[in-house]
Structure 1
């Protein structure tokens, strides 16, 4: 398929009975589409959106819940030359007021012409000038014959034309709107599927539960697979939230070869799947399990690999990766078939000198996960505060350059996005270092804890806190507060209801033993309290704000002490 823009690829699906998509909704109901059927649904969606008032360049906000409804509508918008804007559906559990506020802010920024949601969601939508449509009413719309005839072929997409608008994860503040172009999406899709994954439509099958309003789910498992024709099974995110075991069961059932998720999902899948269920899985076909979207914990990957070995999983299938929406999705991916070996570096030199020096026998080590070399045709630079490149193994800000970098942010005039690059380089705001050409991310610049002149990556503190019995995996967040002489470290830890007794002391002791760092305050909170981005990363600055305002609800009354930390990462 020489022309990789997704709409052009879809055009080649005419009359093709090969499988394209398999949708599993939140209730577990499955619907399968051949390539020809997918093309028919995309064309039908394009015609209906046009009949409902959409025209070339019109923005259509789509709440990304049921994949069987969202994906054809999203692709139909691209086909018709509209600009789709994927937005999150209501949360499965709690935080509905926060979702409504976030949605109101998002709609105010993108100012869509149409908003498409499920019938029950329409009543929850904040005020907007856009025309509101339910997916059900969209599916029954009857366009005029001239509209149908005009959309037999897809709208032309020049490489620099806006394809869709993607909200960034907002890990350091408010989410921003990324302008993804046809050229950047095509470049990243091919770099992922052809160069990094060597995907083969005849043998490969993707599986994903990832939110489709987020770049990892949308690009990684809808747009990129379409660019080369790889079939995909898409599970509703709420199905995974309710039953994390559904992810690996589906991968086993369909003999899936490619999947991916953030670090926390691997921890959750390991914790929620018992040994008897693991023994019934067959993961021997899987060659790529991507892990990205947040810092990768070596402990999490080891536990996942060890637990799923009985299901035939090759540990080399676990492939850490790094990316961000401003570069469409992926920047680097660990090579296929390479055993997972974290970089063991001196904790003291990393902490005190921003130098990832190999650890000596008499030094305390810390492990940093490598996320592979930059994708072909892309460059990565690690820069210091002045913007000059830093030497091998020196930690600095990760800069990216290449054809996947987006057109800019939708901050000002809609036709003139604010550039994201500086001299062609995208400054990611992430810290990391290069070693032997491999990128090793090491946290967010704005999240770094500066205590007594030392720079400490907060995820190290969080991973130590999560090793304490009673603290939920992925439920710890670390930040600083003003102190008398220096900033002081605070840890907020999600605990089981009635199970927070002794957690504070155990967290302080574990962090002190492992990192030589004093924790001034530990706040035990209930499950679901820690604010996170759409990709599952903790929103540390938001949690710091809530802490300083005294706006953190405590966990329920503790019932038993908790002292012993779990095994080290």
Structure 2
């Protein structure tokens, strides 16, 4: 299908949808694949009409005030209509993952924190979710409970004829409050305006080489960065169709994603590293044989550490179905920069460097490893696009570092946002960084990395960094060693962190993993296997190893492990421990 030509100028995503509906009303904009793998399609005209109905309901409820509106929807057409309805109404949309009925004790507090932080007095949802939320909102907020609007019951009659263009975006009013996924801290609302959203969509289109024949096939959570900007807004901005499915569907049946890609001939797919691993583990020979992935031109991978071995396994497993290893495109981004910052080349595959582990951990230097030396393999996340500057800085002295030196990644880009909602001090600290000589401002990402030949290599998170006996250890390295050597633990379901030793002494390494075995007699083997593997490969003996029940390691909505929260549960004795070398682990 040919891409629709961009309207002249850009006056916000509501106006963009309006123009698409005028000039290509019957073109499918978004397709949503349900649990049973049936599909529901939304044309430009249908999405425009539904968005107008939502906008009319929002404006009536808020008396036209530009106050943040919380979106509480399962992934699907109702969510899309609500998102664009907020754009039409000129109010900040606050997308949030609906609470998980099986994990209310963990998901409801995060939702309450978002509502409190955003100051939302209106919640948009559907009639099946509304009754549960009404009781909870009253119990939690009392007389301050936000009003609920079930958008699937709104009457479209008062939404206008569809011939009136939407008003221009209101000056100073954000389009979105994009709450960070909370992998290292409690969520914060990132301010996103229409211009930065559009700029990042254009950068994604450039970096991914999107062309008139492109189409997307994604399961990513549609509430923030990768799923929202990459999966919903970029296709509309570039005029290409996208087929979506719920992350819940993917996690239950990972191959349903690849069947969707095969059936609808998607050319662009993408996910965090764990998703590709999950597909490899779950795929049967019969399922692979039934797939046709020859149309995939680009498979982006990001949002968590990118592992070369994962891409190698995926390419080997699905190569018989036509998947090309060169399709992989590692990339780097974050919510504070809207989404995309760097990426590889389309059909360029991935590039790795093998660095001396001791030099990296002890001196923060990425030096090529000699044969036989302990090494660490890192994947390049590509280069920034035009207009984006990367700087590797010493986080303590703010001095720029040379190529190959590990420091904090700083970003200067047209897509860097204005900061955090109602958090001026954090905004100044994170978005106003300057070097020792005054160069800036830069966004401090909190990520550690280095540059080689202008390519970015991410080494870990500054806040996750573990220092033991003067050595810098990254949790991902410890987790990789465990998953490669120890049977009986679930891949991508572990958390490694440090705690203070007795009487304030040397930090202790703690390793927590979900068990993948039901035989209690084998728990001791897994615990011992983790201790031996970490001691042998990294020369560090874990102070504590804990096995917990499956699906209890805290994760963000996009599947990233929340090490900080796992650490909090460990210290509070709240882990659902099955076996442990430490009595403090939990019940």
TM-score of the alignment, normalized to the shorter chain, above 0.5: yes
* 1:75 shift after superposition: 0.8
Residue 318 of structure 2 is matched in structure 1 by 308
Query: Does 2:429 correspond to 1:411?
Result: no
Query: Does 2:206 correspond to 1:199?
Result: no
2: CA distance, partners of 1:266 / 1:290? 11
Q: Which of 26, 48, 55 lines up with 1:39 in the alignment?
A: 48
Query: Which sits farther off after the overlay, 209-218 or 31-40?
Result: 31-40
Residue 537 of structure 1 is matched in structure 2 by 560
Query: Does 2:356 correspond to 1:349?
Result: no
- Unaligned stretches of 5+ in structure 2? 1-5, 434-439, 581-587
Residue 551 of structure 2 is matched in structure 1 by 528
* 1:90 shift after superposition: 2.2
Q: Which of 568, 572, 578 lines up with 1:549 in the alignment?
A: 572
Q: In the alignment, is the contact (CA less than 8 A) between 1:407 and 1:419 conserved in 2? A: no
Q: In the alignment, is the contact (CA less than 8 A) between 1:344 and 1:368 conserved in 2? A: yes
Residue 515 of structure 1 is matched in structure 2 by 538
2: CA distance, partners of 1:329 / 1:402? 11
**Cα distance change on mapping 1:552 and 1:129 into 2, 3 Å:** closer
Residue 136 of structure 1 is matched in structure 2 by 152
2: CA distance, partners of 1:57 / 1:160? 10
Q: Which of 456, 463, 466 lines up with 1:439 in the alignment?
A: 456
Residue 487 of structure 1 is matched in structure 2 by 507
TM-score (norm 2): 0.89
Query: Which sits farther off after the overlay, 129-138 or 390-399?
Result: 129-138
SS in 1 for 2:128: helix
Q: In the alignment, is the contact (CA less than 8 A) between 1:26 and 1:66 conserved in 2? A: no
SS in 2 for 1:119: coil
Equivalent residues in 2 for 1:216-255, closer than 5 Å: 216-255=226-265
* 1:514 shift after superposition: 2.1
- Unaligned stretches of 5+ in structure 1? 558-569
**Cα distance change on mapping 1:418 and 1:56 into 2, 3 Å:** farther
**Root mean square deviation, CA, Å:** 2.2
What is the number of equivalent residue pairs in this alignment?
A: 549
**Cα distance change on mapping 1:481 and 1:66 into 2, 3 Å:** closer
Q: CA offsets per residue over residues 438-481 of structure 1, 9 Å max, x none?
A: 11111111111100011111100011112211111101111112
**Cα distance change on mapping 1:477 and 1:151 into 2, 3 Å:** farther
2: CA distance, partners of 1:459 / 1:159? 42
Equivalent residues in 2 for 1:78-227, closer than 5 Å: 78-91=87-100, 94-122=102-130, 123-124=132-133, 125-126=136-137, 127=141, 128-138=144-154, 140=155, 142-143=157-158, 148=160, 152-157=164-169, 161-193=173-205, 195-200=206-211, 202-227=212-237
Q: In the alignment, is the contact (CA less than 8 A) between 1:64 and 1:211 conserved in 2? A: no
**Cα distance change on mapping 1:419 and 1:346 into 2, 3 Å:** closer
Equivalent residues in 2 for 1:391-470, closer than 5 Å: 391-412=402-423, 420-422=431-433, 423-467=440-484, 468-470=486-488
**Cα distance change on mapping 1:313 and 1:277 into 2, 3 Å:** same
Query: Does 2:83 correspond to 1:74?
Result: yes
Q: CA offsets per residue over residues 16-51 of structure 1, 9 Å max, x none?
A: 222211012345442112233333333333233334
SS in 2 for 1:361: coil
SS in 2 for 1:33: strand
SS in 1 for 2:120: coil
TM-score (norm 1): 0.92
SS in 2 for 1:165: strand
The runs of at least 4 aligned residues of structure 1 exceeding 4 Å deviation read 158-161, 416-419
1: CA distance, partners of 2:448 / 2:455? 14
